[in-house]
Amino acid sequence: MSKIADPKLRHEGERNFLWAKAHMGALTTLAAKHSKGKPLAGVRVGVCLHVTKETSVLVDVLVGAGAEVKLAGANPLSTQDDIAAFLATKAEVWAWRGQSPEEYAWAIDQVLRVKPGQLIDDGADLHVAAHLSRTKGIAGGSEETTTGVMRLKALESEGKLAYPVVAVNNAQTKFLFDNKFGTGQSTFDGILRATALLIAGMKVVVVGYGWAGKGVSMRARGMGARVTVVEVDPVKAVEAHLDGFEVTNIHEAARDGQLFITATGQKGVVPYDAITRMKEGAILANAGHFDVEIDVKTLLSRAKSVREVRPHVDEVVVPGGKKVYLVGKGRIANLVAAEGHPPEVMQMSFANQFMAALRIRKEHGKMEKKVYGVSAAEEQEVARAALESMGVSIGEQTAEQKAYAKSWEV
């Protein structure tokens, strides 16, 4: 039986579902095409995703293809309660905003207890929980995030991966768009809802120049910020430098940054000693999956005081009396303080998720216990559906050009 915050929110949830659905044509078109004959009939899909309006469209599509869906949220603070209420009319749901860590683990456990045959995950908490409890009966799964794929690869390299996983995150039609454009826009959406400050002229430090960091940096600049990038990978550092950003290390950047945004998938990339160097009023926000990128634990344990000054903004007074401000308790800001990625981006990510579920259903017998990528053909199909939804019409290579691409003589 579902456990959600308030079933009465289901009507508001349905309105948001419909709004998202209207802007996710790539997913609904692909689903319509592939759902004839209910290809997922009889499949119980365990899902651990942020419970947002976009996720409700994926769940609807999975159910439409015949699947039975069991849903937990992917973060204690990211669930939209209206969506959870709406989804509880279509699936079993254990998700509400403001779960304790124990409640969060309990919800994931509920998903595993009902013995899902496939898993769809965001961050790999569900996959990891399965590997720590039971993986029997699981034909395969997929994973949405950089962080999650990193963990699954670690499992794979230790020889412990128990079923095939499709790394949806590694699809170009996912990371080029979701990680970059989704995170770029929605992180600032969250930060503005939380702080309502002017980005123009602000010194913004972006930690990490992967796809998410690129997106955040690009949007920071697009809003008029002066942007400094912190990177430890030299190739990415050169890239950030030639993209016109200041590039340095976190300790140097800490000295004059006003807003720090982490996007690395790593822990401690804003360490406590960097925070102590910051200017009065510095703001800390995280765009990465887990709340470990800023060293919140040390910050809070040493704080002289902590109090909420706006919804999703805590003022932390550090020893010595300086004040810094923490957005969303260091959890992923776009989901905590806003609504996560916009539907136009999620239509591609979730089209890949849907295709991955179909593939595991059909091919899991032939698949190894490995982390798989999305095929080029699937990518093309998703991209073509996205173009159609965006009203973009492109041409094609001629036969002569195809031949030219394979020739080597003049």
Return the HEC string of 129-178. HHHHCCCCCCCEEEECCHHHHHHHHHHHHCCCCCCCEEEHHHCHHHHHHH
Q: What is the Cα–Cα distance from 209 to 199, expressed in whole angstroms?
A: 19
Q: Tell me if 379 contacts a copy of itself by CB under 8 A.
A: yes
Nearer to a copy of itself by Cβ, of 244 and 320: the residue is 244
- Contact status, residue 118 vs residue 65, Cβ threshold 8 Å: no
Report the residue from 223, 300, 317, 318 that binds a copy of itself according to the rule CB under 8 A. 223
Q: Does 162 bind a copy of itself (CB under 8 A)?
A: no
Position among 201, 255, 302, 362 found at the interface with a copy of itself (CB under 8 A): 201
Nearest-angstrom CA–CA distance, 216 and 214: 6
User: Binding residue for a copy of itself (CB under 8 A) from 219, 312, 329, 359?
Assistant: 219
CB 371 within 8 A of CB 152: yes
**Which segment (42-50, 64-72, 224-232, 363-371) binds a copy of itself by CB under 8 A?**
224-232
The reply on whether position 198 binds a copy of itself by CB under 8 A is yes
Q: Which is nearer to a copy of itself, 92 or 293 (CB)?
A: 293
Q: 286: how many CB neighbours lie within 10 A of its CB?
A: 31
Residue 321 touches a copy of itself, criterion: CB under 8 A? no
The SS3 assignment for 204 reads strand
Its sign, for the CA torsion 100, 105, 111, 117, is: positive
Task: Choose between 124 and 287: whose C-beta lies nearer to a copy of itself.
Answer: 124
- Report in angstroms how near the CB of residue 195 gets to a copy of itself at its nearest: 8
Q: Which helix (H) or strand (E) holds 94?
A: strand 92-94
Select the span of 1-9, 137-145, 355-363, 399-407 touching a copy of itself (CB under 8 A). Answer: 399-407
386, 348 contact by CB (below 8 A):
yes
Distance between CA atoms of 220 and 242, rounded to whole angstroms? 16
Nearer to a copy of itself, 89 or 380 (CB): 380
CA-to-CA distance for 87 and 251, rounded, in angstroms? 45
Q: Which of 2, 29, 172, 298 contacts a copy of itself by CB under 8 A?
A: 172
Contact with a copy of itself (CB under 8 A): which of 139, 197, 303, 367?
197
Give yes or no for residue 331 binding a copy of itself (CB under 8 A). no
Q: Which of 61, 108, 237, 275 binds a copy of itself (CB under 8 A)?
A: 237
Stretch touching a copy of itself by CB under 8 A, among 107-115, 154-162, 349-357, 367-375: 154-162
Which residues, numbered 248-287, are part of the site for a copy of itself (CB under 8 A)? 248-252, 265-269, 281
Rank residues 43 and 188 by Cβ distance to a copy of itself and give the closer one: 188
**Residue 343 touching a copy of itself (CB under 8 A):** yes
Q: Is the dihedral of CA 35, 37, 38, 42 positive or negative?
A: negative
Residue 100, interface with a copy of itself (CB under 8 A)?
Answer: no
318 binds a copy of itself (CB under 8 A): no
Buried b (16+ CB within 10 A) or exposed e, 137-153: ebbbbbbbbbbbbbbbb
Site for a copy of itself in 34-73 (CB under 8 A): 53
> Interface with a copy of itself by CB under 8 A: which range of 31-39, 66-74, 234-242, 351-359?
234-242
List CB contacts of 230: < 8 A, sequence separation 6 or more. Answer: 205, 206, 207, 208, 247, 248, 249, 250, 253, 269
Which is it for the CA torsion 28, 30, 34, 39, positive or negative? negative
Query: Is 140 or 343 the residue whose CB approaches a copy of itself more closely?
Result: 343
